[in-house]
Amino acid sequence: MQPKVTKITGLKEKISTAAILSNPDKLSLSFLAENEISYVKKKLEKENECVVYKYPEILFFGKIRDTNETHLRLQAARLAGSKLFDTLKSEKTESVQLLNFCEPELMLAFLEGLLLSGYSFSKYKKEKDDFTLKEVFIFDKETTPEQTNELLNLTQAVFFARDLVNEPLSFLTATQFSEEMEKLGEEAGFSVEVFNKQKIQSLKMGGLIAVNKGSIDPPTFNILEWKPENATNKKPVIIVGKGVVYDTGGLSLKPTPKSMDYMKSDMAGAATVVSTLYAAAKNNLPVYLVGLIPATDNRPDGNAYVPGDVITMFDGTTVEIKNTDAEGRLILADALSYAKKYSPELVIDVATLTGAAEIVAGSHGIVGMGNTKEKMEKLKEAGEETYERIVEVPLWEEFGKPLKSAIADLNNLGSREAQSTIAGKFLEHFTSYDWIHLDSAGVSFLFEKDGYRPAGGTGLGVRLLYNFLKKFN
C-alpha cells in the first residue's frame, strides 16, 4: 500500500524529519541544538547518512554527493530515500516529513527512493511483512501535488511489475497472466485483447506455437492499447514484451537447478510492458501506445519441439531449431512481425533474452541495440535520468552470419560468442521499422536487495520507458 503524500507549508512538530543536503556546513534547523548540529556535521564528513534519535521521533540527514553530473545526484537522492525507509522501518516509524536543501529536482528523487523501497511480496507468507509507511509530508515549495501523484502512480506500476515477476508458475500461467493484464487495464483505462490458442494457430504464429508444444497450458497473445484523444503521435509506439512465464530450457534443458530456480522471472519483459501501459494510462500520458505480449511456458513434454525441427514463423520465415532454450527470440519474432500491421512510429522490445547480457552489464544495466540512432540516444538519456542505464552494442552484419542455416532461412542460435548481439540480430530480421531491442536479463531479478531494488523482481524498465515516453515527440 502506498503512503499518503501531502504537501505542507510549515514544519510539523513531534514527527520524524528527513532532509537531504549538499553542504553540511550550512545546516541550521530550529529543532536542533548546537551540539546536535555539530554531531550531524561531523558524521556527514565521513558518511552519507546521519540519524539523530529523539524518541519517539528520528531525524535523518542524507548528504548528496557534490558533482556536476545531474544523474549521479539524482541517484544519490534516491539512495538516501532508500536508507531513510530502512531507518523508518527499523524504528517502526509510520510518518515522516521531508525537507530539501539541494536543487529542486532532488526532492522528487528523494521521495522516489523512499517510495520504491516500500515494496514487499508477502502473498504466500503466513507471517506478513506488516510495516507500512502511512504518511509522507513534503515541505518544499517547488514540489507540486501533481508531481507527487504522478510519482505515486509510477511507483505503483513498478510494484505491479515486481508482483508479476515474483508470482510462481503455480499461479501465473499464460492464461492467468492475461487475466492479470485485463485487471490492470480495467483499473487504469487501457484496453486488452487476448488471442487464445486457436486464434494463434489460425494466425500461424509458428514461434509461439512451437515453444508452447511442450506445455499442458495454452499460450496467449495479448494486445494492449492506450490511445488518448490528445495523443501527440498518430502512429503508435509499440512495446513488445517476452512473456515466458517459466523456462526450463525445453528439451535443451538448463544445465543446473540454480540456472532454473528463478526462471519464473523470464516474463519480466512482459511485466515491464503491461506496467508501463498502466503508468501511462493512470497519468494520462498523451502518447498512443500498443503493447504486444506473447505468453507461454517452455517445458520438455513428449510433444515438445526439438533441436533439428524447422518451424515457419508468422511472416513466413523458416527457422531451424538448434537449441530449444533460445525460445524467447522465437515468440518475440512473431510479435515483431505482427507489429508491422500498425505501421508503427517506433517498436521497443524488452526481454530477459540471454545470459550473455548479464555478462556484459551485470546487474547494473540493460544491453540495448537497434537501428535508430536518434531514438536510442533519447532512450539512453532516459536511462541515465532514471538510473536504469543502457549499454549499447552494435548490430554489425558479421553477427548475422552464424544465424545462417543449410536447410532453412535462419537458425535460432548462431554462435556462443556475442550471444546477446546475435539474438538481437535474429530479431532484427523480423523488423521493417524503427526498432530498439532491450535485453534485461541481468537486472530484472536480484538475489539480494540493492538500495531501492528489492530481492526478487525489480520492475526495472518501467521507469525508463515511462520517462522516455513522457518526452516522446
Is residue 42 situated within a structural domain?
yes
Is residue 187's pLDDT more than 80?
yes
85, 170: one domain: no
Residue 358 has pLDDT above 80, yes or no: yes
404 with 262, same domain?
A: yes
Residue 173: what pLDDT? 98
In the chain, the percentage of residues whose pLDDT exceeds 70 is: 100
pLDDT at residue 311 tops 80: yes
The reply to whether 105 falls in a domain is yes
Looking at the whole model, is its pTM more than 0.85? Answer: yes
Number of domains present in the structure of the chain: 2
| Same domain assignment for residues 126 and 59 | yes
Give residue 182's domain range.
155-470
Q: What is the pLDDT of residue 38?
A: 87
Same domain for 113 and 178?
no
Average pLDDT over residues 13-41: 85
> If pLDDT is split at 50, 70 and 90, which confidence band does 325 have?
very high
Does any domain span residue 149? Answer: no
Indicate whether 240 and 315 sit together in one domain.
Answer: yes
**Are 265 and 392 in a shared domain?**
yes
Grid cell for residue 119: 515494496
Q: Give tens-digit pLDDT for 277-308.
A: 999 999 999 999 999 999 999 999 999 999 99
Q: Is the distance from CB of 310 to CB of 202 less than 8 angstroms?
A: no
Which pLDDT score is estimated for 256?
81
What CATH code is carried by the domain that includes residue 399? 3.40.630.10
Picking from 111, 140, 169, the residue at the C-terminal end of a domain is 140
Residue 24 pLDDT class (50, 70, 90 cuts): confident
299 catalytic per annotation: no
Contact 349, 437 (CB under 8 A): yes
Q: Per-residue pLDDT tens for 384-429?
A: 999 999 999 999 999 999 999 999 999 999 998 999 999 999 999 9
Do 453 and 357 have their domain in common?
Answer: yes
Q: What is the structure's pLDDT at 293?
A: 99
Looking at the structure, do residues 64 and 164 belong to the same domain, yes or no?
no
323 inside domain: yes
pLDDT at 54 over 90: no
The verdict on 122 and 168 lying in the same domain is: no
Within a domain: residue 147?
A: no
Asked if residue 161 and residue 129 are part of one domain, the reply reads no
Domain stops at, among 140, 174, 192:
140
Spot the catalytic one: 254, 340, 378, 470.
254
Residue 254 is among the residues annotated as catalytic for this protein:
yes
128 and 44 in a common domain: yes
pLDDT of residue 287: 98
The answer, yes or no, to whether residue 30 has pLDDT greater than 90, is no
pLDDT range class, residue 258, cuts 50, 70, 90: confident
Domain finish residue from 98, 117, 140: 140
Write the CATH number for 21. Answer: 3.40.220.10
Q: Which residues of 272-287 are buried (b: 16+ CB within 10 A; e: fewer)?
A: bbbbbbbbbbbbebbb
- Domain assignment of residue 145, yes or no: no
Residue of 197, 264, 329, 463 with catalytic role: 329
Q: Are residues 236 and 173 in the same domain?
A: yes
